[in-house]
Amino acid sequence: MKKMSAMLLYLFYQLRYETVLFWSINALFMFSFTIISLIYPDKINFTIMPSGPIYVLVIVVGTKWITRSLSYLLRLGVSRKLYALGSLLFTLLYTFVHCLIILLFYGIFKFLSITDFDSLDFLHPSQFIFSDLSTMLTFTFTPSPWQIFITDFIIINCIMLISMLISILFHRLGKLGGYSILAGILFLFTLSLTFGWLSKLFEIIMNTNIVLNLIYLLVFIIALATTYYFSTKKISIYCTLK
């Protein structure tokens, strides 16, 4: 338990600076747009998506995960099992904090929109996930705070875990192996577009109950986390194929 707390503290110190820096820049941009929209309500109309940049941030954090944490933590006596569990727990906490901040921003913007302020539009993936086809296309659906939170929580976790798996892929197989497998996945993706498998999947998702879709996504996250857990077994600080 002590080592787990130490690991979480260490990762917190490690990511604190860039997270604060990132949110400061993100907030600065969003508030700049808000102020411009307030000054020129008839001339300018902005659409912003506060959670968009977070998805990019977690891709960066996730793909560098192994390089930035494994060798340091193993040297501090953390076992691989603890490393995997600690990474997953930290991912949950990290995602939770981001989701809370996103929610805070939506709260602020919602407050502004109550005051007849409509030259700023907000875009959030929950508008697609929780709305039906008619409201989805007109962007008239306003998600509730918990819908925003749960959507971001699932999306950020998925992105972070996939990025962490990519970082393991590159660590274990080297650049050549990593890029080859990514190319293979891209090829499969192109095939699925060509043969319309993706549109069929999309259709199935659209026709399935939202709660059921969320459960599927949660199962997908658990599958990613399990894959991550097992892929750190016997991992070395150096590339395995070196």
Partner 1 sequence: MKIVVEQVSKKYKDKVAIDNLSFEIEGPAIVGFLGHNGAGKTTLLNIFASLISATSGKVLINGEEVFDNTNAMKQICFIAETDNFFNQLTISQLFKSNQLFYENWDQEYASQLLNRFKLNEKLKIKNLSKGMTSALGIIMGLACRTPIVIFDEPYIGLDAASRSLFYDLLLEEYTENPRLFIMSTHLIDEVADLFNEVIILQEGKLLLKDSYMNIQQKLFKVKGKKQDVESFINGKKVIHHSSFLNEVHALVKLNNQEAAQLKTHSVLSFEPIKLQELMILLSKQYREEI
Task: Indicate the residue among 2 and 43 with the shorter CB distance to partner 1.
Answer: 2
Q: Of the listed pieces 71-79, 128-136, 165-173, 201-209, which binds partner 1 according to CB under 8 A?
A: 71-79
Buried-exposed string 176-212: b where 16+ CB fall within 10 A, e elsewhere: eebeeeeeeeeeeeeeeeeeeeeeeeeeeeeeeeeee
Long-range contact set of residues 145-151: C-beta below 8 Å, sequence gap at least 24: 145/103, 145/106, 145/107, 148/102, 148/103, 148/106, 148/124, 149/99, 149/100, 149/102, 149/103, 150/126, 150/214, 151/124, 151/125, 151/126
5 binds partner 1 (CB under 8 A): yes
Q: Is 123 in the site for partner 1 (CB under 8 A)?
A: no
Q: Is 45 in the site for partner 1 (CB under 8 A)?
A: no
Minimum CB separation of residue 82 from partner 1 in Å reads 7
72 binds partner 1 (CB under 8 A): yes
> Nearest-CA neighbor of 63 among 208, 182, 145?
182
Token readout for 136 is 């989805």
Using the minimum distance from each CB to partner 1, give the nearer residue, 12 or 139: 12
Q: Which of residues 20-39 bind partner 1 (CB under 8 A)?
A: none
Q: Minimum distance between the CB of residue 180 and partner 1, rounded to whole angstroms? A: 17
The piece of 50-58, 94-102, 201-209, 233-241 that touches partner 1 (CB under 8 A) is: 233-241
Name the minimum Å distance from CB 29 to partner 1: 24
Q: Which of 42, 43, 75, 211 binds partner 1 (CB under 8 A)?
A: 75
DSSP summary character for residue 121 = E
Nearer of residues 43 and 233 to partner 1, judged by Cβ: 233
> How far is CA 112 from each of CA 83, 101, 215, 237, rounded to the nearest angstrom?
43, 17, 34, 50
Strands 120-122 and 46-48: parallel
CA distance 76 to 238: 16
Show the site string, 49-68: x = touches partner 1 by CB under 8 A, - = not.
-------------------x
Sole residue written with tokens 């989805």: 136
Of the candidates 46, 80, 133, 134, which one interacts with partner 1 according to CB under 8 A? 80
Q: Which of 29, 79, 178, 208 binds partner 1 (CB under 8 A)?
A: 79
Question: Which residues make up the interface to partner 1 (CB under 8 A)?
Answer: 2-3, 5-6, 9-10, 13-14, 16-18, 68-69, 71-72, 74-82, 234, 236-238, 241-242
